Structure 1
Amino acid sequence: MADVAHPFAADRGRPMTERTARFRDVLAIGEFRVLWLAQVQSRIGDQFARVALALLVFDRTDSAAITALVYAMTLLPPLITAPLLAGLADRYSRRTVMAATELFRAAVSALMIIPAIPLPVLAVLVLIVTCPQPLFSAARTATTPRVLPGPLFPVGQGVMSSSDGIAQILGFTLGGALVAATGNPHLALAVNTVTFALSALLLRLGLRPHLPDAGTTGRSATRGGFALAGIRYVTADRRLLGLASLTWLFGCFVVPEALAAPYAAQIGAGQAAVGWLMAADVAGSAVGMILLARLGPTPRRRLTVPLAAATGVPLVATLASPSLPVTVALWTISGLFGSYMVLAQVAFTERVPDGMRARAIGFAAAGLQTAQGLGMAAAGLLAEVLTPATAIAASGAIGSVAAVAVGLHARIGRAPDGPAPSDPAADLAAASAGRATIIEERE
């Protein structure tokens, strides 16, 4: 694929860093459109599959526990596979990694369409199709800064994140409607299979190879284990670990989604209100990410911690068990503040050199998924002992206080560190030895 001139290239002599990137600048880049479209339609397909699996398993077993277990299996495998597989995207062409991953998932998903497939086999296939997901995500996220250099990257990341939330809502809604209209969950699984295949085709035809930077994938990256180098790299840098920790705190702020049904029952809102409650924070987050995407480097840096701390405040107000409209408004505001996630993710990605990026992202993603699972589980237990409103309020308070503590300890929000050292391989070796490495890379 021929190189595409970036929209800022002919900006009448003004430096790229002095201009605020626009959404049309980002969408004008063909490779970004390919990444964006592949991600959105694949995410919609994932939600089709989750709805179909939940309904299929419950229909066969009439067991809420087994249904919840199979649903959890779509979330749990990345906790192990993320730090182990993500490193492949730092060794091979990221286009090849993404396309091969999508083709593999399409093949496994196709087996799940078979109507007579036994339930234990279906559960195993769910595990297999989920395991490579972190590899795809790490490769895609590591490729995005190359496709969108400089100020284009934060805008593109905002578009990706907000679109991802919207795609989840559409996937759940349309998937449920399809199964309800046809009575056939296997049809929704077939849609998911098609989206995997289409994603692979788009990526193979629309992207350049995007080989990882060889400067940080050499011998120093393999000392003590290539796959685990990303964990050492992140934990050796206080600010990197702080940014990752801020994203992990989202496990406190996502609790309302897990407790929407019991909370609706507590306030007497009925089952029809559950959908509104579950969509509230997602809708607020999608709007917030779009609003924050065009901020410059200084406002992004200064707002990250305050927004993270503010995310839990509206949830604390849930303690009063307000009416449905007030609760939806509060959770929407929480989601709006929760868009700090895109600021933390952008800062994290920009701080890691290209050849280490997929492994570092894989580690951070595994931590986020773990935090979400633990946060939901802990809040569920607390809701059993007390009330759903109390559990949601407590989770919000813990998240807000922890965000302030992390920000102060990691000095997030202060002026950026100096320029990147000239020898990335040497710095990576220093990180492996336990010394903090300060890297600020601008692609």
Structure 2
Amino acid sequence: MGKARADDHDHPPDAAKPLPPPRIPRQRAAAESANGATYRKVLAVGEFRAVWLGHAVSTISSNLLLLSVAMLVYQRTGMPAAAGFTVALTLLPPIFAGPLLSIIADLCPRRRVMVISDLVRAALIAAIGLPGMPIWGIWLLVALATLPGVPHNAARAALLAEILPGNRYVTGSSLAHMTSQVSVMFGLLLGGVVVSAIGPGPAMLYNGLGFVAAAFIVLVGVRSRRAPRPSGPRHQGLWAITAEGAVLVFSDPRLRTLALLSWLAGFYVIPSGLAAPLADEMDAGASGMSLLMAAVPAGALIGSIVWTRLVPPAPRARLLAVLAAFASLPLVGIAFDLPLELVALLLLVSGVFGAYQFVANATFVLCAPASGRGRTFGVASAGLQSSQGLGILAGSVLAGSIGAHSTIAVAGAGGAICALALIPTWRKVAPSTIEPLQESEQRT
């Protein structure tokens, strides 16, 4: 706003105003968006490289934490249930605190939010490894250490939308998700090596140093920006701002439908939670379980390339609900007595179509108002985590009665039916989701 007023003083009233940039025809803009948003071009943006690399280091550290703290608790207690509860603590707190904490990304400069969040996580995680820390203290620190990730992820998503306009944001977001999949596997592998070499307690210190490194990368590689201008009345309370995030999501047909499509992950995530009993029913052993667990992220890597690089933005947007249906539909085939390789193939196909989540996530952020991206992302993220947690919990209970094969097939049918029910609504709002992408692309 200040710059606009300064321009008014610089030009005499009768001076010719600069002409607005020519508008690019919609079809031409879509074609340029599809052809120009390559991985090479988004990686050429220095700020994106910093956010991308920092996110990779942070993801590796998160998975090193997951393995180290579970091993630490198991060694101290000898109870598998205690180790399982420790892992659950990395998921449960953000479900309840996510919408409230995510508004920080809309109230403070987003680079600052990311840096401080990583530094707070580093301190809390390092404290877990202190000698003599009681189990209840470890659990408390684990729960607290997961909370800064909520504003961090919301700020990262909103900041990327400022760094990469239009379809370049979709491509950059897809690259970040692909890197996350690789970082998860690398973090678990690195965690196994580090814990075996020095023990889970000392590993916590190195884990904390990883978050310090991620904070430093963002601090050095991303320029400072002002906090977003609030869209609502000033001096609102935190709960009012949090409620406004939910209102923004559910009052906008585009955001509401995109959120519902994203939350369908609660159906097709169930095979990941039932990988052990599924492998046991097939007498596949630990190697078979590993194959089943690796099939979905491998498919997601393939799908992220297909849907963001090979399919133009407009057709991709129109097909989003159909892709969501096919993410669940292959799971129905697991009801049959199939060999391990075919079951893994079905999970791979599910992962390919499940990569629509990358596009839905990026589209959601672009359609959200710039000043409310943090809080709307927090609402959608909390709903996604809730659907996944409840889906795995419900699947585990049902599998005890009808078996893992039948449970996964039921989940696949349920997810496909829900996605098909959303297709008519999505067809109405899909064209309007392409406009923010094109407008953002034209401004550059």
Quick check: TM above 0.5?
Answer: yes
* CA-to-aligned-CA distance 1:44-79 (integer Å, 9 cap, x gap): 111111111221212222222221111100111101
Contact 1:162 1:287 in 2 (8 A): no
Structure 1 counterpart of 2:240: 225
Change (3 A) 1:365 1:62: same
1:313: how far off?
1.6
Pairing partner for 2:252 from 210, 214, 237: 237
Pairing partner for 1:402 from 401, 415, 418: 418
Pairing partner for 1:281 from 296, 299, 308: 296
Q: Which amino acid aligns with 2:61?
A: G
Larger mean Cα displacement after TM superposition, 318-327 or 138-147: 318-327
Q: Does 1:362 align with 2:378?
A: yes
Q: Which amino acid aligns with 2:294?
A: A
Question: For residues 31 and 198 of structure 1, what CA distance do their matches in structure 2 show?
Answer: 16
1:68-87 paired onto structure 2 within 5 Å: 68-87=84-103
Question: For residues 230 and 98 of structure 2, what CA distance do their matches in structure 1 show?
Answer: 23
Contact 2:114 2:155 in 1 (8 A): yes
Q: Give me the TM-score of the superposition, normalised by structure 2.
A: 0.88
Question: For residues 193 and 91 of structure 1, what CA distance do their matches in structure 2 show?
Answer: 26
Change (3 A) 1:209 1:266: same
* CA-to-aligned-CA distance 1:324-370 (integer Å, 9 cap, x gap): 11111111111011001012112211111110000000000000000
Contact 1:417 1:440 in 2 (8 A): no
Contact 1:351 1:440 in 2 (8 A): no
Structure 2 counterpart of 1:259: 274
Structure 1 counterpart of 2:206: 191
Q: Does 1:205 align with 2:224?
A: no
Q: CA RMSD in A?
A: 2.2
The share of aligned pairs that are identical, in percent, is 34
Contact 1:114 1:186 in 2 (8 A): yes
Structure 2 counterpart of 1:64: 80
1:322: how far off?
1.6
Size of the aligned set, in residue pairs, is 412
SS of 1:151 mapped into structure 2: helix
* CA-to-aligned-CA distance 1:396-416 (integer Å, 9 cap, x gap): 111111111123234466422
More helix by share: 2
1:30-429 paired onto structure 2 within 5 Å: 30-180=46-196, 182=197, 184-214=199-229, 216=231, 218-219=233-234, 225-294=240-309, 295-411=311-427, 414-416=430-432
* CA-to-aligned-CA distance 1:120-179 (integer Å, 9 cap, x gap): 111110011011211100000001111101221111011011111111111122212332
Question: For residues 374 and 270 of structure 1, what CA distance do their matches in structure 2 show?
Answer: 26
Larger mean Cα displacement after TM superposition, 155-164 or 201-210: 201-210
Contact 2:229 2:371 in 1 (8 A): yes
Gapped runs of 5+ residues in structure 2? 1-23
Change (3 A) 1:380 1:334: same
Contact 2:130 2:201 in 1 (8 A): yes
SS of 2:431 mapped into structure 1: coil
Q: Give me the TM-score of the superposition, normalised by structure 1.
A: 0.88
Change (3 A) 1:307 1:410: closer
* CA-to-aligned-CA distance 1:75-110 (integer Å, 9 cap, x gap): 111012210011111111101111011111111111
Contact 2:166 2:438 in 1 (8 A): no
Larger mean Cα displacement after TM superposition, 216-225 or 199-208: 216-225
Contact 2:72 2:200 in 1 (8 A): yes
Larger Rg: 2
Gapped runs of 5+ residues in structure 1? 1-12, 421-438
